[in-house]
Structure 1
């Protein structure tokens, strides 16, 4: 390069010197009060970072291999429009499908299996009859995901019972021609209000239960060669990038200790927790940055969330917008052209390390307390998530945590009652459960219920 600058001519500026200069510029203002803030996880964020902040622990993830991310689309197989919708998506840029499949309404599965694209079938039902349907319908393009613990955590009950659920999972792995993996739905914990350290620690402890069971049940081992983590990305952009990077490294450390490769796949999708019914177009801004965080964090598959998912059933227009957001990021913003862009960033590397270290400490505490399943059945996990969710809810209610268009700058003329086509609030099921389920809740629900009531008056 002609006339290249020789940076060795410039003296190195220490952190201390930078801070002293900032203090001068503040003209007596308090550095910590004005320029630092503390995250919900207790991590102090500074106004600048340098090479001195690069981690030296095992959580660091520099020099990670290049990761190619794919545009995904998520759909429930029970949707009457599922096949036609997915065919349209595949013709217009979607590369991989994430399909939620259930034990009922399985008639679409054979047709879905014929679609010419890689597919993840997220099996919500675990019983022998449904497993037989999966094995019969699945093709070489279908990758079946099973997560027995997620069934217990989300619904409060095992799909059948613990023994049978794991037998069904193990038998899938032994079926010739069937690709299957264990999944860890850490998105459940995030959508219920867990902070990022809890989310990472619970995902790790959740996965550790499978590693422990594989020690005594060889059928499960093939399912753990490359498990799949399902992650919800929130609105704190840099923290979410760091969270995904820390998760991948934490799993590598843990699974290698059990003799596995350390590989995993990560499917990232925007959180539901901050999505709103009113001023719903703002959801497009949220999902764009949340998808970007998933990409830069190194997720393998990004599945966007339609902006109207709270109040509209699946529809062509919103689905096209969600797909096009990812197409723009990949092909016009060139998010697929840079090799691991977060690597080496002083700030993100520091966050990755701090989140990873704190999550590892919490994980060890869970293991000392009997493990994830034991603490889930003792309602310890639910209590801790509820405490974190309540803290976040109070911040939202006070206006310290802002959702534009909802608790800040709301459009008082906005009317939603007449356009709602499905219930935007989680319905509480009146069924007997073995344990208290982990319930996903949105921050704006109380606000929205009141506004809907006011529309009637």
Structure 2
């Protein structure tokens, strides 16, 4: 028989435990760290366990009520978010069929990449769509005016529920490098804003921050660029005769949502806080309308199934962060045009999170979390400093000349270094690669959001996995698979961990490994090496067995013809040329190995 406990009884049970204090936590954490060789004191624990983002924001390991910022909470969307799916198939019939399937499958708004589809095809692709029920967002790049004109003719006399004409002169310049066209396109955007006023809820301007994210930028850099762009559009619209309130009502902001769920949540919450400050200064309503898109940069061609997990986490974070509309990119979008299956999975990601997980039932579920509130405040502060720097440089249009590209380039380089050293792991690519996977193929096209309109003079468009994937492609193209010999010294228990580590590192570049089997005799290991038919070897064992056997085995391998001998772990031994270890430059290891194997790259 189960006897229910009253709340008072539970409180009494808890009272038997000692009072938790920050000082006691530090002492316990220090004890754990010292077991791994750390030499600091309990006072140094929090600093030792803190991490720093690309924006210089310190993320502490422990938070309490003192971390709550004084800034007011600004709650975003309440209820379910708008499920917005992107379409970029240049075949109007295929796009029309995909739109119908999406709408039947739960999509609530349509995002059209008319740079790929063509503005003239707009009536065809929207044939059969109930435009008084489903909002349409246009993305036409240089052909924005033409696409907007066509769309406005389609909806003339109708009461449409919302949508956006997609004018974004500064975002287009960021992608294409056409900065000289910004003034004319700002005037064009202002004219579209005036015309969209005849359709309540329809907006004319998109403040697209994806170009800065896709160029490898940080979260605060993405935020600061978006706020500076929004301010530039407010100036242009009010100078054209719109009131501040009307101008604010014409803007919608687009941000990237990544698999780093906490930074995504904080970024969207910080964006609302930043824009509310701008609105307060200009004297208008401060609600920011947000469209979150799962990151193109985080997607991988290799093991693309992992993209389903990435986009699920990103969609969850966008929902928790309060985005008004969310686009989940299909898992195969980086391969070309998504197929029907991947589009269905993308739609069902929303359905699962909204209907089954209940993510949308609570407004601002991260609100009040000491960690989330601190991260939001610190990210907002970093973004505001960057926004102010852009303003001092003459505004966003002027900053695109050098300030923004240079800042993004620095962050991109830091990110690339972390990826190369696997401090920023890429599952299925730099970590746990499946060398036997069968590549997927898709019809060529603008599969990833925004990539179709990137120009030679604009910001670069990257994917984090590209360098590892390029090496995998080189390995796959060889007539004989590049191979490294693993000299596994001693019993299985002694060498398994480092042999597995080394095999995974080489596999990230498509390099196969063969092992000697458990042995300590240098002659036997050298014989197995000769049978493997490769000039590169790697010693794998424990530190204790390295001290006893590494030099002898490495010397035997060199005498057997080894061009290079690696050692998994740290330590210098006669005959060992270089080391593999957690945090080493994996890309450099793979490239060096290709060179040693005679693989052209």
TM > 0.5 fold call: yes
Counterpart for residue 69 of structure 1:
81
Counterpart for residue 4 of structure 1:
7
Q: Does 1:419 align with 2:436?
A: no
Q: Point out which structure has higher relative CO (alpha carbons under 8 A, 6+ apart).
A: 1
CA distance in 2, matches of 1:427, 1:97: 18
| Offset, 1:137 | 2.2
Unmatched runs of 5 consecutive residues or more in structure 1: none
Counterpart for residue 330 of structure 1:
354
Q: How many residues align?
A: 449
Q: Is the CA contact 1:182–1:224 (under 8 Å) kept in the aligned structure 2? A: no
Counterpart for residue 229 of structure 2:
206
Counterpart for residue 67 of structure 2:
53
Q: Does 1:395 align with 2:418?
A: yes
Structure 1 residues 223 and 7 mapped into 2: Cα distance closer, same or farther (>3 Å)?
farther
Q: Which is worse superposed, 236-245 or 7-16?
A: 7-16
| Offset, 1:95 | 1.7
| Offset, 1:141 | 3.7
Structure 1 residues 352 and 36 mapped into 2: Cα distance closer, same or farther (>3 Å)?
same
Q: Is the CA contact 2:274–2:380 (under 8 Å) kept in the aligned structure 1? A: yes
Alignment of 1:435-454 (within 5 A): 436-454=457-475
Structure 1 residues 41 and 353 mapped into 2: Cα distance closer, same or farther (>3 Å)?
same
Q: Does 1:256 align with 2:280?
A: yes
CA distance in 2, matches of 1:183, 1:355: 22
Q: Does 1:156 align with 2:177?
A: yes
Structure 1 residues 443 and 208 mapped into 2: Cα distance closer, same or farther (>3 Å)?
same
Counterpart for residue 136 of structure 1:
153
Q: RMSD between aligned alpha carbons? A: 3.0
| Offset, 1:413 | 1.9
CA distance in 2, matches of 1:23, 1:430: 50
CA distance in 2, matches of 1:188, 1:341: 29
Q: Does 1:172 align with 2:196?
A: no
Q: Is the CA contact 1:77–1:108 (under 8 Å) kept in the aligned structure 2? A: no
Larger radius of gyration: 2
What is the CA deviation profile of residues 363-405 of structure 1, one whole-angstrom value per residue up to 9, with x for unaligned ones?
11221222211111x2221111111111101111122211011
Counterpart for residue 521 of structure 2:
none
Counterpart for residue 270 of structure 2:
246
CA distance in 2, matches of 1:151, 1:27: 53
What is the CA deviation profile of residues 221-259 of structure 1, one whole-angstrom value per residue up to 9, with x for unaligned ones?
534325211111122211111011000110111122112
Unmatched runs of 5 consecutive residues or more in structure 2: 479-601
What is the CA deviation profile of residues 393-439 of structure 1, one whole-angstrom value per residue up to 9, with x for unaligned ones?
111112221101111121222343x73543789999997x7xx3112
Indicate the SS of the match to 1:347: helix
Q: Is the CA contact 1:226–1:263 (under 8 Å) kept in the aligned structure 2? A: no
Structure 1 residues 398 and 20 mapped into 2: Cα distance closer, same or farther (>3 Å)?
closer
CA distance in 2, matches of 1:127, 1:320: 29
Q: Is the CA contact 2:320–2:360 (under 8 Å) kept in the aligned structure 1? A: no
CA distance in 1, matches of 2:419, 2:189: 41
Q: Is the CA contact 1:405–1:411 (under 8 Å) kept in the aligned structure 2? A: yes
Structure 1 residues 38 and 127 mapped into 2: Cα distance closer, same or farther (>3 Å)?
closer
Structure 1 residues 128 and 275 mapped into 2: Cα distance closer, same or farther (>3 Å)?
closer
CA distance in 2, matches of 1:346, 1:429: 41
What is the CA deviation profile of residues 285-311 of structure 1, one whole-angstrom value per residue up to 9, with x for unaligned ones?
111101111111110111101111111
CA distance in 1, matches of 2:465, 2:65: 40
CA distance in 1, matches of 2:453, 2:265: 35
CA distance in 1, matches of 2:276, 2:66: 25
Q: Match for 1:106 among 115, 120, 126? A: 120
Alignment of 1:229-378 (within 5 A): 229-376=253-400, 378=401
Q: Is the CA contact 1:342–1:348 (under 8 Å) kept in the aligned structure 2? A: yes
Structure 1 residues 316 and 96 mapped into 2: Cα distance closer, same or farther (>3 Å)?
same
CA distance in 2, matches of 1:279, 1:128: 40
Structure 1 residues 163 and 53 mapped into 2: Cα distance closer, same or farther (>3 Å)?
closer
Counterpart for residue 141 of structure 2:
124
Q: Is the CA contact 1:55–1:353 (under 8 Å) kept in the aligned structure 2? A: yes
